[in-house]
A and B are shown apart, each in its own frame.
Chain A
Amino acid sequence: MNSIINFIGENLQMIYIVILMIFVGVEVIGKVPAVLHTPLMSGANAIHGVVIVGAIYVMLHTDPDNILALVLGFLAVILGTLNVVGGFVVTDRMLEMFKKKK
């Protein structure tokens, strides 16, 4: 019990962000027409590619002699980039087709 309260106390700011973001996510999606569900899912998919920031961060703090960590980090950055670039490009391609309509 004590440790949970400590955890909340130490990370209060982050916990506030988590809770508020949950509401923002729900609000933002709430009014989406069915037509846009697929592009939206794809766009959201690209946004969680922000995990690449973590992969870069971990690479920057890795000791160059730690080969295992370097290899894993290198892979992580590739995968994260795939997620970001692929996600945004595919979403754009989908939306581009909608735009042709008058």
Chain B
Amino acid sequence: MNTQYILDLIYLIGSVTFVIGLKMLSHPDTARRGNLIACFGMTLAILGTIFIHDDEVKPIIYTLILVAIGIGTVAGWMTAKKVQMTKMPELVSIFNGMGGACAALISLIEFQHMSLEKTENSNQLFDLSKLAELFGNIGKHAEMNPTAKMSMIMAGLVIGSVSFAGSIIAWAKLNGTLNKPIRLPKYNILNTVIMIGLFVYAFCIVNGNAEGGMHVYLLFAASLIYGVLFVLPIGGADMPVVISLLNSFTGLAAACGGFMYGNKAMLTGGILVGSAGTLLTLVMCKAMNRPLYSVIFGAFGGGAAAAGGRELTGSIKEISPSDAAVLMNYSKKVIIVPGYGLAVAQAQHIIHELELILEERGVEVKYAIHPVAGRMPGHMNVLLAEANVSYDKLSEMEEINPEFATTDVVLVVGANDVVNPAAHNDPASPIFGMPILDVENAKNIIVNKRSMNAGYAGIENELFYNPKNSMLFGDAKAALSKLVAELKGM
């Protein structure tokens, strides 16, 4: 039996499990099993790669590989188990960056291998047997011609590095280290020029116009810088879209590696994620009603956006926790609109308690989930699931919007832009046209917010000046705890 065939079979199984896993991940009932199936396929592919081949490998190499896997497994497992659910998006971003960096490093090593082979090759130019041996060394399934292989190496390097650097910036933005978009003057033109520059440079290296090992490291550095500059000007509100985009970038980088080695598991896995990630990015953009180019080139979240908004006048009413408790206690129907503020304050458990008390008193309680609530689509659902809020209480936007008219109280907790009526009636607003939750149709609105600061998109909200609206200031957890205490005392 040919060892290569066994390995190919393993990769085939791996590829199939990726497709099946992703497919099962798209149904709530099968999602968890889908993840495990993909995980099984991955483990198989990794073990197969290490142990099933005819090449003679020194024990030191095996040791290094196994130690590296050991370190990665322990570190990855610990981080993933420990992280709070609110920190999820950051974590996905970091893991994504690791994948990108991995792809970039592979390219660097392959480049070095190729230049070594080239020098040996030129020394022994007419020794055909030597040449054949050299080709054998490249690997059994690497039958690509050198130019094509070099193109793949460069593509993997550039895409992987951009994904890595971008993911790190996205991570820093999400955890608040970098909380303001930083824009160099003419950043759009600058970024486009750098991007084209990267292409041209990579092309020159492939074509042999830029000889020498230095150039590849320069290209590596330039790609890293581009990744940083690409994400820096984008506002925090758009980070989920960026992470999803970078996720598909890493997929492409992995696919480049797959192409280079003729490895079909890498190719299918990479392309699958590349295309699925791109579609997911577009779905998210659609939920925010913003074309992808405006996320990348005309990011809001900073000063530029404020210029578009109208001047808002009027008075703001404040409500005390006890008044809010009375109002909700005697309501028939209450809808809760959770936003990222709730997640930041870790208030998902206390909101569930509020829901239970109100239900006990005969109040109908529902949650209205905006498609981009939280920091990623579906993030809010994950958080509420963590607090044991039952599935059927969560309503999606289209479903719940007609219900606001028959609702007595809407409680908005830490959400802002997704309930901003400017999306409907202010064409100058940067969020104009974004589908929102029509909370203003309800009889009373209570907004819990820490202060009057603008939301993540950096724009004013005229909802707060609505006569039906009252503000319950304070950290979501503290304010809701007071509210629950008041309700319990009634």
Task: Name A's B-contacting residues (CB within 8 A).
Answer: 3, 6-7, 10-11, 14, 17-18, 21-26, 28-62, 64, 66, 68-70, 72-102
Most buried by A among B96, B143, B145: B96
Q: A38-B377, A100-B388 are in contact. Are A74 and B22 (CB under 8 A)?
A: no
**19 additional contacts (CB under 8 A) given A44-B273, A54-B263, A77-B64:** A7-B148, A17-B268, A18-B271, A25-B273, A35-B378, A36-B26, A37-B284, A37-B377, A39-B378, A48-B250, A50-B265, A50-B269, A55-B102, A57-B139, A77-B65, A81-B69, A81-B73, A95-B35, A98-B385
Assess whether A38 is in contact with B76, with CB atoms less than 8 Å apart.
no
Assess whether A80 is in contact with B72, with CB atoms less than 8 Å apart.
yes
Task: Name B's A-contacting residues (CB within 8 A).
Answer: 14, 18-19, 21-23, 25-28, 31-32, 34-36, 38-39, 42, 45-46, 49-50, 53, 55, 57-58, 60-61, 64-65, 67-69, 71-73, 75-77, 79-81, 83, 85, 88-89, 91-92, 94-96, 98-99, 101-103, 105-106, 108-110, 112-113, 116, 137-139, 143-145, 147-148, 243-244, 247, 250-251, 253-255, 257-277, 279-280, 283-284, 287, 369, 371, 376-379, 381-382, 385-386, 388, 390-391, 394, 396
For B369, list chain A residues within 8 Å (CB).
Answer: 34
Assess whether A49 is in contact with B57, with CB atoms less than 8 Å apart.
no
For B385, list chain A residues within 8 Å (CB).
Answer: 97-98, 100-101
Name the distance in Å between A74's Cβ and chain B's nearest Cβ: 5
CA distance A10 to B259 in the complex (A): 12
Q: Which of A30, A40, A78, A83 contacts B25 (CB 8 A)?
A: A40
For B371, list chain A residues within 8 Å (CB).
Answer: 34
For B38, list chain A residues within 8 Å (CB).
Answer: 43, 46-47, 88
CA distance A34 to B91 in the complex (A): 20
Assess whether B42 is in contact with A48, with CB atoms less than 8 Å apart.
no
Assess whether B274 is in contact with A25, with CB atoms less than 8 Å apart.
yes
Most buried by B among A44, A66, A94: A44
Assess whether A34 is in contact with B377, with CB atoms less than 8 Å apart.
yes
Q: A43-B21, A45-B99, A79-B101 are in contact. Are A35 and B381 (CB under 8 A)?
A: yes
Q: Which of A33, A54, A75, A79 contacts B254 (CB 8 A)?
A: A54
Assess whether B71 is in contact with A81, with CB atoms less than 8 Å apart.
yes
Residue of A at shortest CB range from B55?
A60
Assess whether A38 is in contact with B105, with CB atoms less than 8 Å apart.
no
Q: A11-B144, A17-B271, A92-B32 are in contact. Are A29 and B279 (CB under 8 A)?
A: yes
For B287, list chain A residues within 8 Å (CB).
Answer: 34
Assess whether B64 is in contact with A70, with CB atoms less than 8 Å apart.
yes
Assess whether B257 is in contact with A88, with CB atoms less than 8 Å apart.
no
Which secondary structure dominates chain B's binding surface? helix
Assess whether B378 is in contact with A34, with CB atoms less than 8 Å apart.
yes
For A98, list chain B residues within 8 Å (CB).
Answer: 28, 31-32, 381-382, 385, 391
A-B contact pairs, 16 of them (CB 8 A): A25-B272, A25-B274, A28-B22, A44-B276, A48-B269, A50-B14, A50-B265, A51-B102, A56-B65, A78-B75, A80-B98, A83-B102, A90-B83, A91-B35, A94-B88, A99-B32
Assess whether B14 is in contact with A39, with CB atoms less than 8 Å apart.
no
For A94, list chain B residues within 8 Å (CB).
Answer: 85, 88, 382
For A83, list chain B residues within 8 Å (CB).
Answer: 76, 95-96, 98-99, 102
Q: Which of B145, B253, B271 contacts A22 (CB 8 A)?
A: B271
Q: A26-B279, A38-B382, A41-B280 are in contact. Are A80 and B99 (CB under 8 A)?
A: yes
Q: Which of B22, B262, B266, B388 contacts A44 (CB 8 A)?
A: B22
Name the distance in Å between B146's Cβ and chain A's nearest Cβ: 12
Q: A51-B99, A86-B80 are in contact. Are A81 and B72 (CB under 8 A)?
A: yes
Assess whether A54 is in contact with B61, with CB atoms less than 8 Å apart.
no
